[in-house]
A and B are shown apart, each in its own frame.
Chain A
Amino acid sequence: MKLPGTACIAFLMLCACAANAQVDAVDVEEVLSMADARADSVPPAPPRDLSARDHIGDNDSGDRISVSWTLSPDDGGGEADVLGYLVMRSEAPDARGDTVGVVPAGTTRLVDDTAVPRTPYYYHVQAVDSVNLSEPATFGPVEGRSSFWQPRRTSVFVLMAVFFAMVITFTQLAQKGASLFIRRIPGLNAIEEAVGRATEMGRPVLYVPGIGEIDNIMTIASLTILSHVAKITARYETPLIVPTARAVVMSAAEEVVKEAYAEAGHPDAYNPDNIRYLSDAQFAFAAAVNGIMLREKPAANLYLGAFWAESLLLAETGFEAGAIQVAGTAMVSQLPFFVTACDFTLMGEELYAASAYLSREPKLMGSLKGSDWMKALSIALMAAGIIANIVGWTAFVAWFETQ
């Protein structure tokens, strides 16, 4: 029966682990001497391959050293009676020094966070069974330092640098007027067709630029597309109604539409009463837009921009009113409603791609093309990961480990 000793040591270890406190070496000896005399007299084999190195933490003041080892042959195998490991630290190779901590069996790592920076230490690790300590494994000297680089995050940094380099390069190329290819987004054809249909029917076009603020990139993208739509309606002299939920967005929309009508050569067809501020409140805005749909019966409803829960209220009423509906948003949670209730939906990034396609603005082109090629690189990395898995190339996978 080894129970009393076992219980004592187990308790000691639990205390040490829970409190993460420094345990004085004397206490350990004391507990060991108190243990049951009839117990095991064969000490376990010591842990192997002990190593220690500077641990680079989040705020690295150089007081942490990470100690690791391979399990003692008696831990999980052999006599299978190892209860834990006692880790000690000294400033001379032969002295045993102070206890750093005690960890339970099966553990192969401990971070000592009490080191004095730039002091060389020797670490000694002993396996503990119910009563005996193994011979110590010793490693040293090692010292803690403050680091200027977090190696676990090198992969993050490299990918970030590559991505940003691409974004900046493409932006500059676009600025210099290089012709960068973006495929035509099918949604644009759908928008043009919807506007054409409204013209045939002699009914207005309704364009809702979302309820985002003016600094929301979806709103900005939407205003670019609004300019395109306004040019078409100006040409066909079809009324264009633009309800907004933000006063600033309304003045921006006024500018955009007025300019588009002037560019299309129909400045007189511009009707300022059709650019309307309805309400800042989400549901009140939706109710007011629904009112427009039912009273003024637009034949084409275009919802492009940032939408939240009101997307459902708008798309459902528009569907019932029998209008052709085209939507576009990067709010992923609203896409299901638009996809089901609208005739065509620009999903997620397609909204940005459409605005970049139409405006050719360098900053939009830059991030779109940069993201594009980063996606290609992502696919390549995923493929490499799969191959690394197959051929057992662990270094590749480990390089991307961030924790």
Chain B
Amino acid sequence: MAELFWTTVGAILTLSIYSFLYKDNPFYKFAEHLVVGVSAGYYLVIYYWNYIDPNVATPIFLLRVGDESIGFMSGQWWMAFIPGLLGILLYARFFPKIAWVGRWPLGIYVGGYAGLGISPVMQARVIRQLGANGLPLAGVDDPMAGMTNFALGIVIFAVTTYLFVVKRSIGAGNKIARVGAIVLAAVIGYAGYVVLTLLSNAGVVSMTNILLVIGLLGTLSYFFFSMRHRGILGGLARIGIIFLMVGFGASFGYTVMSRISLLIGRVGFLLHDWLHLVD
């Protein structure tokens, strides 16, 4: 009975949120404010019992750390007391007269966390990534070669079509010539694909690794602001934007899955846990 009651509560709240799809309304607002309060309360309690009680309150007031008793004013007592005091000082900001004291612990906190991150970020985001991208360009096993060469074939086709048709280097103003130009571009694209396949099968080049290198080069060039985007830099930045867009496309496609998953989870809750319509 209790379970049915609580599942129903969850279901009603779920439907209140979905009512937002029709339009903003009091049911939605009620649930929204309720969760603000409930989650703040939940976090407060969890922070207290998991951290503050065992690591601050118990050592300071009950003179215990883990299993052992500690002496008042002993080293371990100070180690709990000093950060506890600094933590309390953070709340000085709510009292205008002594608000400035609140900046002391904040300084330690902000500075400490800022410093902690610097070196691991350099290591993880810069050095390791450059290391992983400083790839051998030839003579390696390349499982992605097929798809890489196919994609490059399409790029060659697209670029030649652009040159022939849009830039009108071939068949200007003539419909049949234009079709012919596209066919010619397709042939060139296919020829490119065949040549690349032969080369990569022979192990002469690894186009996948070359693409990875060019992609990183292009992306970094795009975000380079100290020179105008002209000449080589302009070309690299143009390549960079292509890679960026494909990357964003991948993120978009993946994100769709994320949002749909959440919906599936909620529909599953309503149909299965609450109504027992499906098993």
Contact = CB atoms under 8 A, between A and B. Distances in A.
A161 B223 CA distance: 22
A2 interface: no
B136 A160 contact: no
B127 A400 contact: yes
Given A156-B123, A333-B251, A375-B224, 19 more contacts: A159-B122, A181-B227, A183-B229, A284-B32, A336-B252, A339-B248, A369-B226, A372-B224, A372-B226, A376-B224, A379-B217, A381-B130, A382-B213, A384-B134, A385-B133, A388-B134, A389-B136, A397-B134, A402-B128
Contacts of A378: 126, 130, 220
Contacts of B29: 284
B66 interface: no
A198 B174 CA distance: 42
Query: By DSSP majority rule, is chain A's interface helix, strand, loop, or mixed?
Result: helix
A201 interface: no
Given A153-B119, A347-B244, A333 B255 contact: yes
A388 B248 CA distance: 32
B228 A379 contact: no
B228 A183 contact: yes
Interface in B10-39: 20, 24, 29, 32, 36
Given A156-B123, A336-B252, A388-B134, A348 B32 contact: no
Contact of A181 (B123, B220, B226): B226
Given A159-B127, A386-B134, A386-B137, A375 B223 contact: yes
Nearest to A288: B24
27 contacts: A153-B123, A156-B119, A156-B123, A157-B119, A159-B122, A159-B126, A160-B118, A183-B226, A284-B24, A284-B29, A284-B32, A287-B20, A335-B251, A336-B252, A336-B255, A348-B223, A369-B226, A376-B224, A379-B220, A381-B130, A381-B134, A382-B134, A382-B216, A389-B136, A397-B134, A400-B127, A400-B130
A202 B68 CA distance: 75
Interface string B198-241: 00000000000000010011001001111111000000000000
Contact of B226 (A182, A287, A332): A182
Interface in A178-229: 180-183, 185
Contacts of A340: 252
A339 B223 contact: no
B249 interface: yes
Interface in B114-150: 118-119, 122-123, 126-128, 130-131, 133-137
Q: 5 smallest A-B Cβ distances: which pairs? A: A385-B134, A336-B252, A336-B248, A372-B226, A353-B225
A284 B26 CA distance: 12
A319 interface: no
B2 interface: no
A385 B252 CA distance: 33
Contacts, number: 102
Interface residues of A, number: 47
A349 interface: yes
Interface string B107-118: 000000000001
Interface in B178-192: none
A369 B225 CA distance: 8
Contact of A155 (B127, B134, B224, B244): B127
Contacts of A180: 226
Contact of A385 (B126, B131, B226, B229): B131
A183 B226 CA distance: 6
Contacts of A287: 20, 24
Query: Looking at chain B's contact residues, is the secondary structure mostly helix, strand, loop, or mixed?
Result: helix
Contacts of B248: 335-336, 339
B260 interface: no
A384 B133 CA distance: 11
Interface residues of B, number: 37
Nearest to A369: B226
Contacts of A183: 225-229
Contacts of A349: 223, 225
Contacts of A159: 122, 126-127
Contacts of B278: none
Contact of A400 (B20, B131, B136, B226): B131
Contacts of A384: 134
Contacts of B228: 183
Contacts of A385: 130-131, 133-134
A32 to B, nearest CB: 43
Contacts of B24: 284, 287
Contacts of B176: none
B40 interface: no
Contacts of B126: 159, 378
A67 to B, nearest CB: 27
A373 interface: yes
A294 to B, nearest CB: 11
Given A284-B32, A333-B251, A379-B220, A372 B225 contact: yes
A156 B249 contact: no
A281 interface: yes
Interface string A52-63: 000000000000
Interface in A252-299: 281, 283-284, 287
A281 B32 contact: yes
B1 interface: no
